[in-house]
Amino acid sequence: MNILVTGGAGYIGSHAALRLLEDGHAVTVVDDLSRGHREAMDLLAPLGDLHFAAGDIGDRSLVLPLLEDRCIELVMHFAARAYVGESVQMPLVYYRNNAAGALALLEMMEEVGVTRFVFSSTCATYGEPGDDFIPIAESCPQHPINPYGRSKLHVEHMLFDYAQMKADAGEDFAFAALRYFNVAGSDVRERIGEDHKPETHLIPICLEAALGLRDSVTVFGTDYPTPDGTCIRDYVHVEDLIEAHITVMDALKRGDRRAYNVGIGRGYSVREVVDACRRVTGVDFAQVEGPRRDGDPPVLYADPGKIESELVWRASYTNPDDIIETAWRWRRDHPHGYEGA
């Protein structure tokens, strides 16, 4: 298939591009490199038919000809700004990039007749579900509490409304919104990895501490109503996540409007993850306690029952040590990420 991967130079998008190339698909990546890595594209280029275009997903002069010339049949849309705190500081950047960017892309797809879309949504669209909604199923009300989550929910609404209109008109369009929980780990063959700058995710922060690049890891909030007082989250391996994309891509048929939570279905506390990182790296790095962060609910983990039953998808990594091991192997060899790689 001919597939456009937006944000394909970023962490998850590059793992998707890698898997699609290995499966023999022709992959076109559009990434403005605001947070992505050209080095990842250079590493993937020998693996197959990869065309990389540097630029904004909303740039019609760039994207429209690519949709036509590369005969795109399906779009996997990873490109986005994805930091909660930054979204509070720069809401317009988030709405422009995430919501207006996706809108521009959909308009271009409409113009040239591309009818399949797989969207990187997020558990942040659920906001702070109460205890009654844990584990989180797709039926949990979506009340995001920050511009990041709202910008993603806007895109889901656009997709549902657009697909409904197409169905009413007897025309073909199908999409899936995958609501990811915390994505972690790297390519098991260590060809590419996770390199966010700035880094806000717990596991890579711990790995940076293990490498001596940080003095310590801060645990935000130790008085939550959880067994060890720290927040509990659901960590899904990036390869399992990409498997979910491939499975849903293959399953999409005319008129589908699908939404799935992608997580392992159980949570690990911040302290458990920090301890697992110490075990895997063999480094007893320092940990300091900080105050709670605004908008961090105590417990978030998925009920993956819908994707498991409808798509026969199941996470193969369920133990944090195994997930961290893959992240560590790449990071140990690339302490500064792609820089100097």
Ligand X SMILES: NC(=O)c1ccc[n+]([C@@H]2O[C@H](COP(=O)([O-])OP(=O)(O)OC[C@H]3O[C@@H](n4cnc5c(N)ncnc54)[C@H](O)[C@@H]3O)[C@@H](O)[C@H]2O)c1
Q: Which of 28, 87, 115, 120 binds ligand X (CB under 6 A)?
A: 120
Instruction: Please report how close the Cβ of residue 167 comes to ligand X at its closest, in angstroms.
Output: 26
When asked if residue 140 is in the footprint of ligand X (CB under 6 A), the reply is no
Shortest reach from residue 225's CB to ligand X, in Å: 24
**Position among 4, 5, 11, 105 found at the interface with ligand X (CB under 6 A):** 11
Q: Cβ 34 to ligand X, closest distance in Å? A: 4
Scanning 78-86, 107-115, 265-273, 297-305 for contacts with ligand X by CB under 6 A, the matching segment is 78-86
Is the CB of 122 or the CB of 142 nearer to ligand X?
Answer: 122
Rounded distance between C-alpha atoms, residue 84 and residue 251, angstroms: 31
Span 192-251, contacts to ligand X by CB under 6 A: 196
Residue facing ligand X at closest CB distance: 10
- Which part of the chain contacts ligand X (CB under 6 A), choosing from 33-41, 63-71, 87-95, 169-177? 33-41
Min CB(172)–ligand X separation in Å:
25
Nearer to ligand X, 166 or 187 (CB): 187
Is residue 94 annotated as a catalytic residue, yes or no?
Answer: no
Residue closer to ligand X by CB (options 18, 183) is 183
Taking CB under 6 A as the rule, which mask of x and - marks residues 165-194 in contact with ligand X?
---------------x-xx-----------
Catalytic residue among 148, 162, 235, 317: 148
Cα–Cα distance, 252 to 244 (Å, whole number): 12
Pick the closest to residue 207 from 292, 66, 328, 103 (CA basis).
328
- Cα(14)–Cα(33) distance, integer angstroms: 12
For residue 323, what are its two tokens? 């997930």
Nearest one of 80, 108, 62 to 6, comparing CA atoms: 80
Q: How far apart are CA 218 and CA 289, in angstroms?
A: 6
Q: How far is the CB of 31 from ligand X (least distance, A)?
A: 4
DSSP symbols for 7-55: TTTSHHHHHHHHHHHHTT-EEEEEE--SS--HHHHHHHGGGS-EEEEES
Q: At 20, phi and psi to the nearest 5? A: -65, -40
Number of residues interacting with ligand X: please give it, by CB under 6 A: 28
Q: Nearer to ligand X by C-beta: 50 or 166?
A: 50
Write the DSSP symbol of residue 229. S
Residue in 17, 20, 53, 82 binding ligand X, rule: CB under 6 A = 82
Q: Does 331 bind ligand X (CB under 6 A)?
A: no
Length of the chain: 341
3-state secondary structure (DSSP) of residue 86: helix
Q: Token pair 């293959």 is at which residue?
A: 250
CB of 171 to ligand X, least distance (A): 27
CA angle (222, 223, 227) in 5-degree steps:
85
Residue with Cβ nearer ligand X (10 or 129) = 10
Between residues 166 and 264, which has the closer beta carbon with respect to ligand X?
Answer: 264
Q: Residue 166 or 331: which CB sits closer to ligand X?
A: 331
Q: Does 13 bind ligand X (CB under 6 A)?
A: yes
Q: 210: which 2 tokens? A: 């293990």
Kindly report the number of other CB atoms within 10 A of residue 47's CB atom.
14
Out of 41, 50, 79, 273, the only residue in the binding site for ligand X (CB under 6 A) is: 79
Which residue in 28, 87, 115, 122 binds ligand X (CB under 6 A)?
122
Enumerate residues 6+ apart whose C-beta is below 8 A from 6: 13, 29, 30, 31, 57, 75, 76, 77, 78, 79, 105
Do 294 and 211 contact (CB within 8 A), yes or no?
Answer: no
Strands 232-233 and 268-269, sheet pairing = antiparallel
Residues designated as active site = 148
Q: Which residues contribute to the site for ligand X (CB under 6 A)?
A: 7, 9-13, 30-36, 56-57, 78-82, 97, 101, 120, 122, 180, 182-183, 196
